[in-house]
């Protein structure tokens, strides 16, 4: 059943990627097809996760590939909140290829199958993994928004005559959404880290490099919020900061198999 649900979800996401690319060239129908691809793919992946949850003996996404599956779902969920609007279709072009690629990677790593027994307790995994992944999904979306901001801002700075041709959100909107997304994601990361540290203390585990990078990620996004909302930083500087934070998110995700799943 899980295998049967992977392919519709993956094909729908792939269709969305192609349609988003087509929408840049000819806006309209391609954009609507892309949005429906994301919606249908998300529904199929939700079904896949539900089947995994029902059939698993414990928290079903405790492996690296499994957590990638959940991560993709969270990214697409976050994107769907405002990605359906025509002006945000360019964001889809940034987010959906990543989602489709990670989803395929998850499958190749066995993250979309059912069964398996986690090493840790359900509650710990649900809180720690769920919160950290939700935060990372938010940061991924924020990075997409920041990248779109920089692209749009560059067009305006270079006075590209075609700057109005492609429908994109206004700079102020992109900046506000980036800030809000990070403001929602950072508390989730904070809680996730706290749960992880509590468990670390209880079990007497060691503090590894990946944990240090995660804390650094927290600091970067904390600095983002402080600089933006308290010190009035705006524009390119905050967008670059959001991208720096995302690089750390990628580092943590790639480093997970080395420290947590070895």
Partner 1 sequence: MGLVLVGLSHHVAPVELRERVALDPERAGALAAALGEGRAEAVCLSTCNRTELYVAAEDATGAESRAVEALRELAAEAAAELGAVVYRLHDEAAALHLFRVAAGLDSMVPGEGEILGQVRSAFEVGSTGPVLDRLFRQALHVGKKVRSETAIAESPASVSSAAAALAQQVFGALDGREVLLIGAGKTGELAARSLASRGARIAAVASRTPERARAVAERFGAQAITLDEVSRQLVTVDVLVSATGAPGLVVSAGQVAGALARRRGRPLFAIDIAVPRDLDPAIHDLEGCYLYDIDDLEAVVAESLSGRRREAARAETLALEEAERFREWRSSREVVPAIASLRARAEEIRRSELARADARLERLTDNERRAVESVTAQIVAKLLHLPTVRVKQAAATPAGAVYVDALEHLFGLGEEER
- Contact residues toward partner 1 (CB under 8 A) are 27-28, 152, 156-157, 159, 161-165, 167-173, 232-237
**In the complex, minimum distance from the CB of residue 230 to partner 1, in angstroms, rounded to a whole number:** 10
Which CB sits closer to partner 1, 32 or 55? 32
Per residue, what are the HEC states of 3-66? Answer: HHHHHHHHHHHHHHHHHHHHHHHCCCHHHHHHHHHHHHHHHHHHHHHHHHHHHCCCCCCCCHHH
**In the complex, minimum distance from the CB of residue 146 to partner 1, in angstroms, rounded to a whole number:** 15
Which CB sits closer to partner 1, 207 or 229? 229
**In the complex, minimum distance from the CB of residue 243 to partner 1, in angstroms, rounded to a whole number:** 17
- 8 A C-beta contact, residue 80 and residue 38: yes
**In the complex, minimum distance from the CB of residue 147 to partner 1, in angstroms, rounded to a whole number:** 17
Residue given tokens 């998110």 in the structure block: 249
**In the complex, minimum distance from the CB of residue 112 to partner 1, in angstroms, rounded to a whole number:** 38
Tokens, residue 230:
């308290």
Which CB sits closer to partner 1, 215 or 223? 223
Q: How far apart are CA 257 and CA 252, in angstroms?
A: 10
Task: State the CB neighbour count (10 A cutoff) for residue 1.
Answer: 13
Which CB sits closer to partner 1, 159 or 201? 159
CA atoms within 13 A on the CB side of 83: 29
Which CB sits closer to partner 1, 76 or 239? 239
Q: How far apart are CA 247 and CA 147, in angstroms?
A: 12
Q: Which contiguous run of DSSP H or E holds residue 256?
A: helix 236-259
Which CB sits closer to partner 1, 105 or 176? 176
**In the complex, minimum distance from the CB of residue 87 to partner 1, in angstroms, rounded to a whole number:** 10
- Structure-derived torsion over alpha carbons of residues 4, 8, 14, 18, reported in degrees to the nearest 10: 150
Q: Which contiguous run of DSSP H or E holds residue 135?
A: helix 122-157
**In the complex, minimum distance from the CB of residue 27 to partner 1, in angstroms, rounded to a whole number:** 6
Tokens, residue 239:
């967008």
Which CB sits closer to partner 1, 83 or 192? 83
- 8 A C-beta contact, residue 13 and residue 103: yes
Residue given tokens 């509650």 in the structure block: 123
């Amino acid at each position: 059943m899980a295998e049967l649900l992977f392919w519709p979800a993956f094909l729908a996401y792939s269709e969305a990627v192609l349609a988003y690319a087509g929408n840049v060239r000819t806006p309209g129908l391609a954009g609507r097809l892309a949005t429906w691809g994301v919606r249908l793919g998300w529904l199929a992946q939700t079904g896949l996760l539900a089947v995994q949850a029902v059939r698993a003996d414990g928290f079903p996404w405790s492996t690296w590939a499994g957590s990638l599956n959940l991560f993709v779902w969270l990214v697409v969920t976050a994107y769907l909140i405002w990605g359906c609007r025509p002006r945000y279709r360019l964001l889809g072009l940034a987010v959906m290829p990543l989602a489709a690629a990670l989803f395929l990677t998850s499958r190749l790593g066995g993250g979309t199958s059912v069964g398996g027994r986690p090493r840790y307790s359900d509650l710990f995994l649900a809180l720690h993994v769920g919160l950290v992944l939700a935060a990372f999904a938010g940061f991924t979306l924020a990075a997409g928004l920041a990248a779109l901001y920089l692209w749009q801002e560059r067009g305006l700075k270079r006075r590209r005559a075609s700057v109005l041709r492609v429908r994109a959100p206004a700079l102020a909107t992109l900046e506000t959404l980036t800030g809000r997304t990070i403001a929602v994601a950072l508390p989730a990361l904070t809680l996730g880290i706290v749960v992880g540290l509590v468990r670390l203390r209880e079990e007497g585990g060691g503090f590894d490099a990946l944990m240090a990078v995660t804390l650094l990620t927290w600091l970067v996004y904390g600095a983002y919020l402080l600089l933006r909302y308290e010190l009035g930083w705006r524009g390119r500087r905050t967008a670059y900061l959001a991208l720096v934070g995302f690089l750390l998110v990628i580092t943590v995700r790639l480093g997970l198999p080395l420290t947590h799943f070895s």
